[in-house]
């Protein structure tokens, strides 16, 4: 490297390789019974890796970045894979930080879907639970962590202070674009979230993969599960239509299974496989486009 090499942080990945710090941060942030005061203390000082991750996310997720990434990925041109193949592929995203207690990606998916199943929810919701994080395979195609996980937010309009670490948006080029910084920005009032360009990540991508196979309730769970500013904090209601408002309860119903299903016993894959073979056959073709 010469002294003239420009300093760039765009390719930095401040979280552990498997990104579980982000999940742990979320779990702490939304611990049940937490006061607003305690919530605010979940700050940068206490979580430097996560804060740096959000600094990158809020700096580089511009409206144009979203349009470019959607063009790159939403055509689903990366080959065909069954659900099991996609899960095995995602599972190559391992982290050696604590191999004894950390769950693999597959184990997180199974714990989520098994918790949903145990509570007697419909089969489509169990299937949704299993596939909800398969979009994290974006990392294996070279996308940086800040473009794959983290809270999502609308681009092309003013940022809500209900998005985590809102101060980092000041470094986003869109922050200085007046067209994008009015309340509605490029959108019409109550245009519906389907018309809103959300920051790019595993939620929007897995929705694209699954959109022909699961009911609308499940698709909302996939597409907006990281949109905490909306489903937890009530922000951006003015972009929503009646359908979004009706579907929000399903996103909320799903959220605890994602956040709090981490148990200490690892799911028994061999025992569970026949059930999931049947479940996948019911909802999905043998191979899906990715």
Task: Work out how close the CB of 39 gets to Fe ion at its nearest, in angstroms, rounded to a whole number.
Answer: 20
For Fe ion, the binding residues in 120-149 under the rule CB under 5 A are 133
Q: Which is nearer to Fe ion, 174 or 203 (CB)?
A: 203
Task: Work out how close the CB of 70 gets to Fe ion at its nearest, in angstroms, rounded to a whole number.
Answer: 18
Q: Looking at 49-57, 60-68, 213-221, 253-261, which segment touches Fe ion (CB under 5 A)?
A: 253-261
φ, ψ for residue 247, nearest 5 deg = -85, -15
Tokens of 181: 């910084």
Our finding on whether 114 is near Fe ion (CB under 5 A) is: no
Tokens of 273: 């496989």
Task: Work out how close the CB of 202 gets to Fe ion at its nearest, in angstroms, rounded to a whole number.
Answer: 6
φ, ψ for residue 63, nearest 5 deg = -60, -45
For Fe ion, the binding residues in 15-44 under the rule CB under 5 A are none
- Measured at the CA of 155, the angle between CA 8 and CA 181, to 5 degrees, comes to 100
Measure the CA–CA gap between 138 and 201, rounded to whole angstroms. Answer: 8
Q: Which is nearer to Fe ion, 69 or 185 (CB)?
A: 69
CA of 143: how far to CAs of 1, 137, 138, 139, in Å? Answer: 23, 9, 6, 5
Q: Which is nearer to Fe ion, 115 or 157 (CB)?
A: 115
Q: Which is nearer to Fe ion, 21 or 133 (CB)?
A: 133
Task: Work out how close the CB of 181 gets to Fe ion at its nearest, in angstroms, rounded to a whole number.
Answer: 28
Q: Which is nearer to Fe ion, 114 or 258 (CB)?
A: 258
Task: Work out how close the CB of 31 gets to Fe ion at its nearest, in angstroms, rounded to a whole number.
Answer: 16
Task: Work out how close the CB of 258 gets to Fe ion at its nearest, in angstroms, rounded to a whole number.
Answer: 4
Q: Which is nearer to Fe ion, 47 or 105 (CB)?
A: 105
Our finding on whether 258 is near Fe ion (CB under 5 A) is: yes
Q: Which is nearer to Fe ion, 133 or 217 (CB)?
A: 133
In sequence order, what are the beta bridge partners of 81? 288
> Do 175 and 181 contact (CB within 8 A), yes or no?
yes
How many Cβ atoms are within 10 Å of 29's Cβ, its own excluded? 20
Task: Work out how close the CB of 29 gets to Fe ion at its nearest, in angstroms, rounded to a whole number.
Answer: 14
How many residues bind Fe ion, per CB under 5 A? 2
- Residues at the interface with Fe ion (CB under 5 A): 133, 258
């Amino acid at each position: 490297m010469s002294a003239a090499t420009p300093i760039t942080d765009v390719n930095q990945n401040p979280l552990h390789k498997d990104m579980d710090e982000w999940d742990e941060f979320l779990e702490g942030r939304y611990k049940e019974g937490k006061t607003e005061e305690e919530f605010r203390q979940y700050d940068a000082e206490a979580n430097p890796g996560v804060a740096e991750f959000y600094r990158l996310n809020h700096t580089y997720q511009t409206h144009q970045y979203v349009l470019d990434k959607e063009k790159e990925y939403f055509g689903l041109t990366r080959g065909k894979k069954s659900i099991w193949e996609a899960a095995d592929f995602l599972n190559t995203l391992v982290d050696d930080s604590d191999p004894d207690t950390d769950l693999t990606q597959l184990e997180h998916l199974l714990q989520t879907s098994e918790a949903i199943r145990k509570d007697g929810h419909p089969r489509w919701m169990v299937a949704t639970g299993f596939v909800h994080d398969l979009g994290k395979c974006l990392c294996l195609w070279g996308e940086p962590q800040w473009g794959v996980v983290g809270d999502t937010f609308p681009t092309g309009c003013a940022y809500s202070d209900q998005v985590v670490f809102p101060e980092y948006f000041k470094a986003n080029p869109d922050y200085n674009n007046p067209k994008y910084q009015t309340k509605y920005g490029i959108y019409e009032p109550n245009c519906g979230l389907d018309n809103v360009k959300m920051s790019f990540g595993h939620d929007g991508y897995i929705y694209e993969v699954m959109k022909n196979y699961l009911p609308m309730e499940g698709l909302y769970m996939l597409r907006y599960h990281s949109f905490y500013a909306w489903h937890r904090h009530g922000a951006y209601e003015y972009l929503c239509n009646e359908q979004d408002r009706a579907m929000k309860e399903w996103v909320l119903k799903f959220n605890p299974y994602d956040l709090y299903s981490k148990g200490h016993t690892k799911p028994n894959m061999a025992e569970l496989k026949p059930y999931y073979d049947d479940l996948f056959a019911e909802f999905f073709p043998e191979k899906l486009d990715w």
